[in-house]
Structure 1
Amino acid sequence: MVHRAVEGQGWQVVGLHKGTAGLLSRPPEAETLTPHRFEGMLLRMAGTILGTTNKGDPFAFPYPDGTVRDRSDEIIEGFRALELDGLIGIGGDGSLSILRRLAQQGGIPLIGIPKTIDNDVVGTEVAIGHATALWVATDALDRLQPTAASHDRVMVLEVMGRDAGHIALSAGISGGADVIIIPELPYRIEGIAGKINALRAEDRNFALVVVAEAVRREDGTPVVQGHSDSGQALYGGVGHYIGRRIAETTGAEVRVTVLGHVQRGGTPTPRDRLMASIFGVHAVDLLAAGQSDRMVAWSGRNVVDLPLAEVVDRPHRVDPQGALVHTARGLGIYVGEDPS
């Protein structure tokens, strides 16, 4: 993106520190980005050199005393103070939704780039980060399988997936899981136990189970570790719940692994590097053409763009009747109960 903007358009590029939080500081926290900064190792790094934030909604900014205040005008003032002409925002559905509201309020030309390991942004087949997280989860299954077989165990792997089960489903298929539990499909412990017992009847002494962090208990209650400062539920622990229920129901020896933030780090896969480059170039080209309020996307093996209004506040969840669920069932994987 920086190469395209500086060398292709002759623009100056400014990176905002800590996302919208950097625009609340006075002076705003930002730095000029040059192509030289993006040579060498940066392509091989995870995360962001600028920092980011996932709390402090500027339209309802929380204070220590429990009150909230609208600070959106301060963010827009910070943007103006930097004398910027346009904004390219990189993030998931929530981030893009907030940025769009700010852009509309402040008259800021905005182009969005989808980036979330959950891959739950509407309108794009690919979001930056998903391929790397999927590789990490699949690699974990590859490492768990030999010890599961060696010790006659059921291995439960809990992966991320706040609103959708894309990581769990794709990693489970790729990693040879026997059971995949995702929030989009109901499940029964008896169904999971039935699959494990069927494997035993075939003289298989182990099983691999993948569960997305947002999966609920059988009674529909969420498994959370508390709440963030903004009141958002902090998921985690459903893997242990599923593991206990499997042990109780089947008598199997169960071990649970929670990948957590391991999925968000590491060296990006070639696929993620490629998509980030494609999206960045197209985002710059859209701004140069005078376009605004759009998000770049990948569809039909090509880069496209679509109105942000069609994207925000509509998380893309796994289709219970889609190709991946059909594939998992075709491979004999238990992926929950068939709603039909």
Structure 2
Amino acid sequence: MTKRLGVLTSGGDCAGLNAVIRAVTLRATQGYGWQVFGIKQGTMGLMSRPVEAVPLNSDVVDVSLIRQGGTFLGTTNRGNPFAFPMPDGTFLNRSQEIIEGIRALKLDALIGVGGDGSQDIMYRLSQQGGFEYIAIPKTIDNDVGLTEQSIGFMTAVDVATEALDRLQPTAASHDRVMILEVMGRDAGHIALHAGIAGGADVILIPEVPYRIELIASKIRKIFASGRNFALIVISEAVLTEEGEKVIITDHSGKSRYGGISHYLADKVSTLTGAETRYTVLGHVQRGGQPSSQDRLLASAFGVYAVDLIAQGKTNRMVTWQNREVVEVPLDEAIQSYQAVDINGSIVHTARGLGISFGDRF
């Protein structure tokens, strides 16, 4: 029987989303003879009337798509449909509109590519609407539970690593301490992985409390050894030494992390006397061409998700575990947040290389 399959991307963009859409489309159309519809702007497209969706086939998702960053379907990371902000300042439950949108498209199943917040919303919608749903994890933060890796993470790490590669010669040329602030929300995975790969001297992550004096001591030892520069990587969600968040509030009142590197640069410069500069990498980590690893992961996830639907399975999330794609219950994945394991092998590797987390002499 010919199925009608929908696919959408939700939450913040990242590298590898187009590769997922391509994989879903090719597997469904060529492998099973199904029809595929790409839903525009995530759940916003399902709330629109008429529903904003486009038919997908091999002509639409040609091979050039796998190289493109972002998502050609568009996405949104604002407007929880269960409490959707209205112009008058009130909040409206618009979840039923999304369910009606799925029915209007006559979809037999839906595949959603998103992070933990998006997947929680989609899971609640599937329970309310009774439709078949398969989740694919994506986020540069790599904090989705029960998967070793999410789409977009390795590209973000590559970008941050390259930034360190570029900052190091400038640091050496000017006898400076260079601080790189990276994204990651409340998890320090990007800072940890890029810090090791980029040869950082200090890595600061939200999971490990630090002391400024210990960071300064590390830098003084580096300069005393004869090296004239130092590199620090700091995750955006790291607190001040006093335990306060450093956030930025925009004109609409929405707050986000940002500015901890400025705070740290002032402290380090004062305590060490070293000229200190900081760089906030920001959204550069989310854009651009996906790495080969993210392209491969996205392709494997997309194919596996379609196969799960063919098997009649629902409310599952595809994950990467032990070098292969497997499935886990979606509700368990949502409940399992993945922060950095401070006793894990990656942190152990960093410490073994002499990298400081600002928590030990």
Give your verdict on TM over 0.5. yes
Cα distance in 2 for residues equivalent to 1:134 and 1:37: 30
Aligned to 2:268: 246
Determine which of 245, 248, 256 is the counterpart of 1:222.
245
Indicate the RMSD between aligned Cα atoms, in angstroms.
Answer: 1.2
Counterpart in the other structure of 1:186: 209
Q: Hey, what does 1:305 align to over in structure 2?
A: 327
Partner amino acid, structure 2, of 1:22: G
Distance in 2, matches of 1:314 and 1:297, equals: 13
1:257 aligns with 2:257: no
Would you say 1:323 and 2:345 are equivalent positions? Answer: yes
Alignment of 1:84-99 (within 5 A): 84-99=107-122
2:64 equivalent among 22, 41, 55: 41
Q: 1:314 aligns with which of 319, 336, 340?
A: 336
Residues 212 and 358 of structure 2 are in contact (CA less than 8 Å); yes or no, is this contact kept in structure 1? no
Aligned residue identity for 2:356? Y
Runs (4+) of structure 1 exceeding 2 A deviation are none
Q: Deviations over 1:154-202 (max 9, x none)?
A: 0000000102000000000000000000001101101110110110110
Counterpart residue type for residue 287 of structure 1: I
Match of 1:117 in 2: 140
SS of aligned partner of 1:112: strand
Aligned residues: 337
Secondary structure of 2:177 counterpart: strand
- 1:196-211 residue pairs with structure 2 within 5 A? 196-211=219-234
Kindly provide the amino acid, as one letter, of the partner of residue 257 in structure 1.
T
C-alpha distance in 2 between matches for 1:283 and 1:190 = 49
Q: Within 2, Cα distance between the matches of 1:329 and 1:156? A: 19
Q: Distance in 1 between matches of 2:338 and 2:251?
A: 23
TM-score, structure 2 normalization: 0.91
2:294 equivalent among 272, 277, 281: 272
Q: 1: distance between equivalents of 2:40 and 2:125?
A: 17
Residue identity (%): 61
Q: TM-score, normalised by structure 1?
A: 0.97
Letter in 2 for 1:315: Y
- Is the 8 Å Cα contact of residues 93 and 314 (structure 1) preserved in structure 2? no
Q: Distance in 1 between matches of 2:307 and 2:357?
A: 42
Q: Aligned letter for 1:174? A: A
Question: Is 1:212 aligned to 2:246, yes or no?
Answer: no
Match of 2:46 in 1: 23
